[in-house]
Structure 1
Amino acid sequence: MVVFTSVLLSAVLFSTMVFSQENETTEVTSSKESKFTVFPIPFYDPSIKSGVSLVPMYSFYASDQQDSPSTISATFTYTQTGSYNIRGNTDILLDKFRFVSDFGFNYSDLDVQFFKKARHKAQTIQEEFNFFGEMYYGLTDSVFLGVGLSYQTERYSGKTKRDHLQLIAARRCLSYCSDTGASVSLLIDKRDHYYYPHSGYMLSLTYDGHPEWLGNDANATYSVAESDFRYFHSLNDAQTKSIATRWLNRYLLDSENAPSSALSLFGRQGRDVQRGFIVGDYIPSANITSLEFEYRHEIEGSGSELLDKMTVVGLAGAGKYYGRLANPLQEEDTIRDADTLSMVGFGLRYAILPKERINIRMDVTYNNSEQWLVYFGFGENI
């Protein structure tokens, strides 16, 4: 089934490439001009299956000195399970300021493993509205201080009485529960490009607090410490061969007070995806650590305009989830005792906007649970 889905969605991806070529805007006279484009891409998430996304996007340069454009985009997705989401994204890159945001509504038909000894996953509907926004100020060309605001409200509903009881036991919200956070961060960004770097590194350190004064329940206050380190290295002078790595850590402080919605679902945590793992297969827990590696080979000189916009990718990754579990009666795993989850895979990238280095992507992974998974998306994981 996974192989059939991969072939089917690959055909849709090829159609997207042809569509993008047939619908290019007027001839480019400057590499720094504004562009508006609309393109469909296939969608696949192991937790909500296959579907299609429609992405309108506007890109522009705030000044001629900038190498990376600002982008404003929306994504409309519908899948075969009846799940859908409507999302907006901004990456506004100015000389001294950056504004990054992600917001929207998700309706997901999920099967979630809340408890290790449960015979059945809970078949649930998750409805969620969330917003994340962060403003950065540049102290230098590569060092930024950021302040952010996040808001999330969600509810779950079970399809059967058994599902409903699991949701109650896992302390999931049966009516909308809200959670508001404020964050401060330090960003060191020495990448040669914002969207698709060939060299350099990025380090982001974030403290995210969810105190009572932001309107949170006094008995459900908590904070999160996150680190995100990415390193890029070009292997040849033409910069067509490169490696990319990402080490992501999320640690939930005051986890005994935190609501269940603050726990991590390994496979996806907010905007971060651990490729190779199905959301819902692993017990929600307080903390995650995840390491991914990519080898990227950009095709050039093939004589085909279509092929010369493609990149072949090899990837591997490993991670752990540990700490407080969804069921407070279960014993917590330490990082040493927690299972190591690993995966390998390959992928393709297609430059939907080559000069801006903005790609659509497909990844196929195989994990240590002998599962084949397919991912489609817009932009890069690393």
Structure 2
Amino acid sequence: MKLKSVELQNFRGFKTLELSLPDAQTLIFIGGNGAGKTSLLQAIGMMLSWLPARIRSEKSSGNKMDDTDIFNDESSAFIGLCLTHDGQDVLWSRVKKRLGRTGSEKSVMDDMSALALHFRQRLTENRDTALPLVAYYPVNRSVTEAKLEPKSKRYNQLDAFSNAFTKASSFNNFFEWFRNREDLENEQRLKLKDFDYQDHQLMSVRAAITAFLPELSGLRIDREEHKPRLLAEKAGKTIVINQLSDGEKCLLALVGDLARRLALANPAGQKPLKGEGIILIDEIELHLHPRWQRNIVPGLEKTFPNCQFVITTHSPQVLGDAKNAAVYALNIHEHPPIFSLAETVYGRDASDLLEEVMDASSRTLLAKSS
């Protein structure tokens, strides 16, 4: 499953945007503050949110536009999205009309509703049917504390989409799921009398985290204290996850949560990290050291090979190591508001990317003294 095209009309700062997308695993949008990167990502997220909603129920709704999403004093706003799935194009659109205004535009949801029906039918026939993952990680994502209170819950594929399109990500669902799943793993060890037994969903999450943070190992719950703690081994020492830096915690939680969602969406698969999906990440470099910024896109593409990543960034380090990505520059104040960067960005020096691609000086220019 991959995005094929996006169209916006009178949406927020965009008067008109028509974008046909290549068959690339990663799409990167760059631009200055206020250029429209987050608005574009949120528009795509609004549309994708309708798929899991309609898989749950044919009458359920995804995220909707409101009057503040309509450009200036226009009467309506329009978002159109096309994706490909199993070689077929799936096209749908949403229209938001301002109260008290008229217009002939209508939302068209037939293709998307038919795709959702297809997955509901497959779930009816086989409760372990794999589902494609769609999720949006906003810029407001943080890890304040790993909450590990036990919750007796039976998870299914639809839980992969829980809180997948919110305005802020706390990652609490990841930590709760990890605790629940490890409890099940321990029960199986006792039942099978095999203390080397590992739950395949937890194995996939641990493998994904190790791929990005190889210095961490042995991720587990400590139940001996009065309050459960998430522990790991680092540099030969046992540490509490809350003691990690913000960058380490955010990367662990982002990668762990994505792996968790894929594990839930692919319950029967022994390799859930190979599940397919479309993942949106705003300001992917958030809290990351420049060295990690260089590794983030290649790492995501390698660890989750069948997911498409749609990301925004201000980082020349991210651009310089995105070998196969399609890169677009956004500016809602220009016409057209988006253009493809035909020149290759992979391997270019960070200073060069700042100067020639990101329209920023590589160093502060000091004013001459009088």
Normalized against structure 2, the TM-score is what? 0.27
Q: Which has the higher helix share?
A: 2
Structure ID, larger Rg: 2
Q: Which has the higher strand share?
A: 1
Normalized against structure 1, the TM-score is what? 0.26
